[in-house]
Structure 1
Amino acid sequence: MCAGAESIFACRECGREDHPYGSRHCARCVLRERLTDLLTDPRTGRIHHRLQPVFEELIASDRPQNGVWWLRKKPGTGPRLLAQMACGAVEISHDTFRALPSDRSHDYLRSLLVAVGVLTPIDLRIERMHPWLEETVAGLSTQDAALIRRFAHWRVLRSMRRTARENHLTRGMADAARRRIRMAIGFLVFLDTHGSCPATATQDLLERYHAHVGRSLNHEYAFIAWLRECRINTRLTVPDVKRPPPEVTVSDAQRWDAVEHLLHDATLRRYTRIAGLFTVLFAQPLSRIVAMRTDRITLTDDGVDVAFHAIPIRMPPVLDDLIREHLAHRATRPETDHGWLFPGRIPGHHLATENIRAQLVAIEIKPYEHRKAALFGLAGDMPAPVLAELIGITDRNAAAWAALAARDWTGYIADRAR
């Protein structure tokens, strides 16, 4: 209402003006109507009891317009499958999805059902590995295929599950897992062409394979180590090649230029600025940043504290304001955030690392290189034990960076005790 006149933007049903959609109704009311039609069980005339959480999640979303678009007049794969579940045509279970293609539409709906508690928790990156594995070993002999399956399940997938439980599994890690399996297959094929097998392979054959592929055997180390652990072949060894120290390719001046850019460029997305500053100032990897929860942030009258590891760190000016603004925006729809500091597009999931990385690279900030520069700078400013506690790296890693920064903190503990 303005000066007693009825607003032309007000919804005819709820009277709100914040999400206009068409000339009569707001997007949230349109979404409510269409979702009700989609999820109603014809046997009861009500929304299917198991899909009620889906209804509530989508209705409470930040932008109901996106939900309306998803349920457009010619609904896509996800809405059609939801309608089939609502009327009982297909079962609401993970088995239904396992029988369907693992594409973006099916994965989105499956993630939504997991996020709202309709389906049990599952990591799609691990789930996708199973059909991929079967396709990959299809051309191998029965014996080799069985060996690769054992390696995949007991070494590769086991490691992925452990990382997923810590909420650190990324797309890059999943790609690396596939690469280990493909490399193991490549080694088996090489052995077969030379009349050998994993149990009879010699060190000479392994070294000839190394020369054949023309790269470090570190790529095949996981498979060779597994063969030794299982006592399939204890004769094979991979030389322990000492890694060279990391190269810091970003200068101190370039690092602080990046800080200034992220602090003051209002054209960038706020979450990109915050995540970039966490990397450039506090050497946090993007995989850890996107998995942060809001309980790691403490707001006080004096400032904003962020706990990357054991000890909270007081944020500098401007960054603290950005974090406050970000949390205030998230607080408008807390039921859709699921506790993530950076909630992603898929309900129940945090933002993907690739989302932020691409935006930072577009402004010539390379997260990996700038993180190394931050580690180098921080290691020169504080003792290794303090650095490890503050930013969440191991004592050994902190000591290595301190050595690279040419700072000797060996007397720190004794000095602190005095």
Structure 2
Amino acid sequence: MHRLRRHPGDYICTRCGQEGRKQRKGVCSRCVLTERLDELLDDGTGRIRPELIALYDGLRQATRPRSIFTWTGRDRVQRLLRAVARGQVPLTHEGLNQISPPRAVAYLRDLLMHYGVLPRIDRHLMLFERWLEHWLTEIDDPGHHELLERFASWDILRGLRASAARGPLGAGRTKNARDPLRAARTFLAWLDERGIDLKNCTQADLDAWHAEAFWARRPAQRFLRWAMTTRLMLPLTIPSRNTMNPAPISQHARMTLLRRAADDNDLDLMVRVLIVLTMMFAQSLSRISRLTLDNLIEEQGRLSIRLGDPPAPVPEPFAGLLRAFATRRPNLTTATNPGARWLFPGRRAGQPMTPDAFAHRLRQAGIPALHGRTAAIRQFALQAPPVVVARMLGYHHVHITALAMEAGSPWSHYAPDDHGE
């Protein structure tokens, strides 16, 4: 056995003859992991279950096999893998839905989809459907149950499925989809307590409910519009309350943070890139999480980022930050995301980092991302017509027009073209 000089933990494995990290008696981590997978994925005949060979090979080839060894060492993970390998659990999405613990199952499901063992489905959509099924069972009133099931099927789920067909859903999208259902249930219960049917709800009733259930005003609007469109209730005026965007930081504070992103080499590179994307390009954390390498466009030595149409040019030194981060993306050395195209790959197979993970990093660095993003949008609205800003940043022109009017922009009355753009 010859010790290598490049790393104090590197050896020539006595079993496979390859360079690796010693884990047990001169045997490398990859060989030790292979032993464990041979046992866990055995279908009971002394061989790997054929359907799981792609998973087996993918896990063994991980850049950091020790992390997979640690994961497969957990009792709940071992029980789960043995059950799947030996056919005790159907190797389908429906079969996985019946077992627990949920977090371990979700991680395994992502791996199975990533390696082609299971067909790809949107994970967040599937979790929402499971939540919806359980939530509906808690509604005792048959009329309310039937009405909310119709609303969920024909409005909420239809919208989510259409979005999932165009691209992966984010966790925030399905989380927000629960709010209209909860608000609708509250509204129906409020009517029921007063002996009022939905179809007999009057404007006075609707106004009274909005005055009492202030927390549900905004999420209930979707149900109310749906109920009126489907003629389940009278065409009433939905009380609205103007909601202001978060107070923007000053332009001086915004530029100070951008200078910090450009110059502070002690600041985490990811945080520096997040500052650029929020405070220069006014992107929300949920939008940032969906960016891929394909959104970065390099032409003739100049970098642009595609957020809308046309792509927005990225000036130096911020272009250099994006280039550097693209070559040093996290979470690429495990079995979950080795070939990910996400600009911010997550720890789950095929998934990007979450907006919550971004928010945590920014809070730790003392960066007011939400207020900085508002300041960036306002600055854009003061400098160019809302329709131009909306196209470049990927926003709807109505939203940018409202912000322009709020900021007193001279472009606030700039008319969009005949297509509403």
After TM superposition, the score normalised by the length of structure 2 is 0.85
Cα distance in 2 between the residues matched to 1:261 and 1:327: 20
Aligned to 2:378: 376
Alpha-carbon distance, 1:103 to partner? 1.9
Alpha-carbon distance, 1:302 to partner? 2.4
Aligned to 2:95: 96
For the pair 1:203 / 2:203, whether they are aligned, the reply is: yes
Cα distance in 2 between the residues matched to 1:28 and 1:387: 51
Contact 1:57 1:336 in 2 (8 A): no
Aligned to 2:182: 182
Cα distance in 2 between the residues matched to 1:405 and 1:193: 44
Alpha-carbon distance, 1:349 to partner? 0.8
Cα distance in 1 between the residues matched to 2:389 and 2:200: 48
Aligned to 2:289: 290
Matched residue count: 409
Cα gap change, 1:394 to 1:204, in 2 (>3 Å): closer
Deviations 1:88-142 (A, max 9, x none): 2221001112222472111111122122222222233332333433443424211
Alpha-carbon distance, 1:52 to partner? 2.1
Aligned to 1:221: 221
Cα distance in 2 between the residues matched to 1:352 and 1:260: 26
Q: Which moved more, 1:1-10 or 1:119-128?
A: 1-10
Alpha-carbon distance, 1:383 to partner? 3.6
Alpha-carbon distance, 1:23 to partner? 5.8
Aligned to 1:162: 162
Aligned to 1:26: 28
Alpha-carbon distance, 1:278 to partner? 0.9
Deviations 1:43-90 (A, max 9, x none): 3x4332221222233234343222111011xx3333322222222222
Cα gap change, 1:383 to 1:184, in 2 (>3 Å): closer
Aligned to 2:52: 51
Amino acid at match of 1:42: G
Instruction: State the percentage of identical aligned residues.
Output: 27
Contact 2:200 2:234 in 1 (8 A): no
Alpha-carbon distance, 1:192 to partner? 1.5
Aligned to 1:361: 363
Contact 2:337 2:348 in 1 (8 A): no
Deviations 1:201-240 (A, max 9, x none): 233222222233245733321111111122111244313x
Aligned to 1:324: 323
Secondary structure of the 2:248 match is: coil
Q: Which moved more, 1:93-102 or 1:139-148?
A: 93-102
Cα gap change, 1:226 to 1:388, in 2 (>3 Å): closer
Q: Which moved more, 1:252-261 or 1:305-314?
A: 305-314
Contact 2:337 2:345 in 1 (8 A): no
Cα distance in 2 between the residues matched to 1:404 and 1:212: 29
Alpha-carbon distance, 1:330 to partner? 4.8
Alpha-carbon distance, 1:258 to partner? 1.9
Q: Which moved more, 1:205-214 or 1:225-234?
A: 205-214
Contact 1:217 1:238 in 2 (8 A): no
Amino acid at match of 1:321: G
Cα gap change, 1:117 to 1:311, in 2 (>3 Å): same
Amino acid at match of 2:59: L
Cα distance in 1 between the residues matched to 2:387 and 2:5: 66
For the pair 1:16 / 2:19, whether they are aligned, the reply is: yes
What stretches of structure 2 of length at least 5 have no aligned partner?
417-421
Secondary structure of the 2:199 match is: coil
For the pair 1:71 / 2:75, whether they are aligned, the reply is: no
Aligned to 1:276: 275
Aligned to 1:350: 352
Deviations 1:13-47 (A, max 9, x none): 34425x5545623333332332233223333x433
Amino acid at match of 1:152: A
Secondary structure of the 1:10 match is: strand
Matches within 5 A, 1:120-159: 120-137=119-136, 138-159=138-159
Amino acid at match of 2:87: G
Cα gap change, 1:386 to 1:144, in 2 (>3 Å): closer
Secondary structure of the 1:186 match is: helix
Alpha-carbon distance, 1:6 to partner? 11
Cα gap change, 1:42 to 1:352, in 2 (>3 Å): same
Aligned to 1:246: 245
Aligned to 1:113: 112
Amino acid at match of 2:64: R
Q: Which moved more, 1:135-144 or 1:106-115?
A: 135-144
Aligned to 1:416: none
Cα gap change, 1:246 to 1:150, in 2 (>3 Å): same
Cα gap change, 1:362 to 1:403, in 2 (>3 Å): same
After TM superposition, the score normalised by the length of structure 1 is 0.86
Contact 1:218 1:238 in 2 (8 A): no
Cα distance in 1 between the residues matched to 2:307 and 2:7: 50
Secondary structure of the 2:132 match is: helix
Contact 1:202 1:235 in 2 (8 A): no
